[in-house]
Amino acid sequence: MAKNSAKRLKEIVKVSAFYGFGFLVDNKIKRQDNSPENLRLACEDLGPTFIKLGQILSTRPDILPAEYIKELSKLQDNVLPEKFKDINKVIKSEFGKSIEELFLKFNEIPLASASVAQVHEATLKDGREVIVKVQRPEISDKMETDISILSRIFNLTKAKFKDTLIDPSEALNELLDSTRLELDFNIEAENIEKFRKINKSVACIYAPFVISEYSGKTVLTLEKIKGYKIDDKKGLLEQGYDLPDISKKLALSFLKNIFEDGFFHADPHPGNLLIRDGKICFIDFGIIGNLNKTLRDSLNDAVVAVAYEDINKLISVFMSIGIKDGFVDRNQLYEDIDYLFANYLNTSFENINMSYMLQEVFDVARRNNIKLPKELTLVIRTFIILEGVIAQISPEIKVLDIAIPYVKSHNLNKDIDLDEVLLNTHIFLKNSVKVPTKLIEVSDNILSGRTKIKLELKNLDKPLNELNRMVNRMVFGLVVSAMIVASSLVLNSNIGPKVYDVSLIGVIGFIVAGISGLWLLISILKSGMM
């Protein structure tokens, strides 16, 4: 290990021990008070990489308990600014020209100084006022060193995380991915342009122009937006703004971006939301959420299922997008969701936060060994921040009150995807052709004794008539299947009385089988045992 790495490792061990986490890196140190607050303080003391790691973990309620998520969300990303001469070197390295050659004015004192970059006000040669985000020199090397050390520590301490919710390897991979994205300002520029494009028809939403000729991998130059911070209630009221109206528009914009566009600003704290000329202006696109169509539809279905207290629908959503992380007992899952609806959500929606509702639903999935996509956890974190902002300026506005009608309407008015319909129709027809052959195989196997039906009986204390009904349905289903097979054989043989050269016996057999099968299906659905 290099000298600098060894020195840094000692620093990490020392700070970790001070805040009660020394047992993770040194077996000789006893486990101490490792409260959520101590974890946050340790991250702040250890600098940029650990602040970033904490911020990433604050977006992952599927990895850490709620109390840790809440505390890590408070992480402050303010550090001492770099010397101006070093900032000039970064700009010259990016463009081949000095600050004096590129800008008419450039404020040496930064507006803000974070772990990865700092922000300066400037004026271009043509007089346009801009904001220049400059990456800290050598920040990439420093973060790579810390990540390498973390990797070594995690490899040595895997056993200590065995019975916890924390997956160190997963957290480290998240850190690596996030770091690569955040250290390339070209990606942030692309995010801004995409956000502008998908919201161009939304009159109340705005994002700054990217000045592309003054932007690159380590420098990002944007249009300067002069406005009021969204939590500046006094300033906004003095300008005649309607705060509840701003809150509703903000909530609706996020619902559109999440449920329709699948692309949303995932860090909507007050410092990133400005009000100017009646528009909500978004800045700092370092954290962006992406949801593909499958995840958007599933999230939509989950919210609708909660709104209608449709337990089976919610289970279907879990099973379709979740990854089984062990045995999943559907009966237990059903009971947990039923308990959730009865004890937590059986109240007016105005008393429930959107983030709380989603968090509770996701916790049920996690307790039942279903791991939901990490992209959806970022949605929860975004709603936590969003609801906090709205609570500051309009406490009477509840995001869930806006979300439920929106999602229901969106569900009803969803455009039909013709390609998807054609594909599903093709698959259905293709499989339908195989049905008679498969049924004949099943009947042959039954008649020859090759088919075995395995029944696993649980909860024997339940009434025996439930078991009787189940067996009766199975027998009835087999009879219906046999009728379909027999009718198919009669039609193929073309025997008996005919109508339009089609066997009447076969047609009647199909009709009777169809009606019987429909009756059986309806009885199963009514019983709730589907």
Q: Could you read off the pLDDT of 313-351 as tens digits, one per residue?
A: 989 998 888 888 788 898 999 999 988 888 766 665 566
Tokens for 522, please give them. Answer: 């309806």
Instruction: List beta partners, residue 229.
Output: 274
Residue 434 confidence (pLDDT) = 60
Tokens for 228, please give them. Answer: 């009021």
* Distance between CA atoms of residues 363 and 358, nearest Å: 8
pLDDT higher at 413 or 396: 396
Q: How confident is the model at residue 145 (pLDDT cuts 50, 70, 90)?
A: confident
* Distance between CA atoms of residues 179 and 140, nearest Å: 8
Q: Which residues neighbour 488 within 8 Å (Cβ) at sequence distance 6 or greater? A: 436, 439, 440, 506
* Distance between CA atoms of residues 423 and 100, nearest Å: 60
Residue 307 confidence (pLDDT) = 81
Handedness of CA 61, 42, 187, 100 (dihedral sign): positive
Q: How confident is the model at residue 459 (pLDDT cuts 50, 70, 90)?
A: low
Q: How confident is the model at residue 104 (pLDDT cuts 50, 70, 90)?
A: very high
Using the structure block, give the residue that is written with the tokens 């940029």. 48
* Cα three-residue angle 110-113-117, rounded to 5 degrees: 105
Region 140-169: mean pLDDT is: 69
Q: Which of 88-92, 154-158, 250-254 has the lowest mean pLDDT?
A: 154-158
* Distance between CA atoms of residues 482 and 81, nearest Å: 79
Q: How confident is the model at residue 248 (pLDDT cuts 50, 70, 90)?
A: very high
Q: How confident is the model at residue 33 (pLDDT cuts 50, 70, 90)?
A: low
Handedness of CA 405, 60, 50, 207 (dihedral sign): negative
Q: How confident is the model at residue 421 (pLDDT cuts 50, 70, 90)?
A: very low
Given a cut of 70, whether residue 100 has pLDDT beyond it is yes
Using the structure block, give the residue that is written with the tokens 């974070």. 114
DSSP string of 342-355, one letter each residue: HHTSSS-GGGS-HH
Residue 47 confidence (pLDDT) = 83
Q: How confident is the model at residue 384 (pLDDT cuts 50, 70, 90)?
A: confident
User: Which long-range contacts link 447-451 to residues 24+ away (Cβ below 8 Å)?
Assistant: none
Give the CA distances from residue 217 to residues 136, 142, 289, in Å, rounded to whole numbers and listed in that order: 12, 17, 21
Q: Is 277 left (phi over 0), alpha (psi -120 to 50) or beta?
A: left
